[in-house]
Amino acid sequence: MKNGESQTSEDDDEINLENLKLDDDSTRKSLYNPSSVMTWSSIPQHSTKKNSSNDTIEKAEPTEITDDISSIEHAFICFMSEKITQKSLIYSNMEYTRNIASNEKPEEITMIELKAFVGLLLLAGLLGKSKTNLKCLWRRSPLESPIFKATMSRSRFEKMMSCLRFDDETTREERKKIDKFAAVREIWSYFENNLKTCCTSGSYVTIDEQLLGFRGNCPFRQFIPKKPDKYGLKFWLCVDVESYYVFNTFLYIGRQSDQERQQHVRANVVLELLKSLYGSKGNITIDNFFTSVSLAKELQKKNFTLIGTLRKNKPEIPMEFQSNKIAKLLRRLEEVQAIPFLLIDEAYLCKLFRQQYSSTSSTKQNNTSTQASVSIKTWSSFTEAVIKAFGSTKVQELKFEQLKWYKQTVNQPVTQYYDKIIELCKNVDPAMPDSLKLKYLMAGIRESLKLHVGLQDPKTTDTF
């Protein structure tokens, strides 16, 4: 239940899983839904087959390629491989040569320069300055990192920025007729392949969307008002629940001009993202944007189980499921199980999966309680993974801006100002060194105290 909602209906909507059991002598009740031509049963079907899904829980781990990683640089190269940097260097120099003035001395971009350029971009993002004016990054200030100015001149950086390319621009228009993502498709395919080959999949994965902020000219740029950035490129990501490692990506580019309208687009996205994981047994957790009974049954054929929210207005849901008081915890459609244990905003939290039962009634009761508990535990893990993997850095950027411009007020005690600065520093970077914290403390302190503190020459935040 969301914050601020009324708590009066909580007892009606929520089921106590610990005390809930299925009666052994309960009669089978079938629910037929004419809109979806499906029949649901209130009693699980007996089967002598063994449960072949999720016998062992696998964890994501490095492959042979990344097993002997010894440094951060080596790990970075595993994803930004030499093939990616070499191709980018060739295409960027082609653009540089085309745009160079006749009276200008040709200075092609070198591999060292390209890697330094990428490093400065990453550093700007790490410091929360991805949207800061370049002049500010290269100015002399105790609050700005000296690395930018020491690495290359601002004019050289701007020149490389204008010439950076990821494809052959002379053939781009022809390729764009069949692919809107033609300008980056080749390099992005290399990066996706590196994601799949650097790490093996765990047993539990999740899929959700992420909007990467972007306001440039792009035919498939999306506007999502509820996202922090609002404008950007929408990606669907397949992520490991425990390690938050991204195994696969799917960029939404809309429909091509000559392409017919596709059916079951959402299910196709899930199946495409899981394609590299076929052959292994696992579980996927998704939200109501993707969840459907037909998708759950399709995933069963590929040894994947599914946990997700299913909206009440889906054609697969019988009318009996839509009452506030749910008489039974367990309802079954062939080999698909629904556990509606909590009603949240017109959506049921369901577990849809393949599960085999023994014929004994005691085993049925134990399975019911255990499966429900596993559903809740896995859904909690899913929400945590979503926050970690798909969360925006907007909050960190706002905290950094607040830290950058925070000043001690006239009547504010020094101790209160000190506590506030230290708190903001921890929010921006928990591992921020004392030397940088001291710079922020000195920058915002009242002018009347700067001379006194400067004479003291504190070396750590404790001596400040």
Determine the pLDDT at residue 362.
40
Residue 28 tokens read as 């089978």
DSSP 8-class letter at 276: G
Contacts of 19 (CB under 8 A, 6+ apart): none
Looking at mean pLDDT, say which of 216-220, 235-239, 330-334 comes out highest: 235-239
Taking 60 as the threshold, does the pLDDT of residue 413 lie above it? yes
> Residue 130 corresponds to which tokens in the numbers above?
């991805």
More confident residue, 208 or 44: 208
In terms of average pLDDT, the best of 269-273, 305-309, 380-384, 412-416 is 269-273
From CA 318, how far away is CA 340, in angstroms rounded?
12
Specify the higher pLDDT residue, 402 or 44. 402
With bands split at pLDDT 50, 70 and 90, how would you rate the model's confidence at 414? confident
Q: Decide if 218 contacts 258 (C-beta within 8 A).
A: no
Q: pLDDT tens digits for 285-315?
A: 888 888 888 888 888 888 888 888 777 777 7
* Rounded Cα distance, 255 and 253, in Å: 7
Q: Over 80: is that where the pLDDT of 83 sits?
A: yes
Question: Quick one: pLDDT at residue 167?
Answer: 92
Q: Which residues of 151-161 are buried (b: 16+ CB within 10 A; e: fewer)?
A: bbeeeebebbe
Q: How far is CA 223 from CA 180, 214, 219, 236, 256, in A?
A: 18, 10, 12, 15, 19
Confidence of residue 321 (pLDDT cuts 50, 70, 90): low
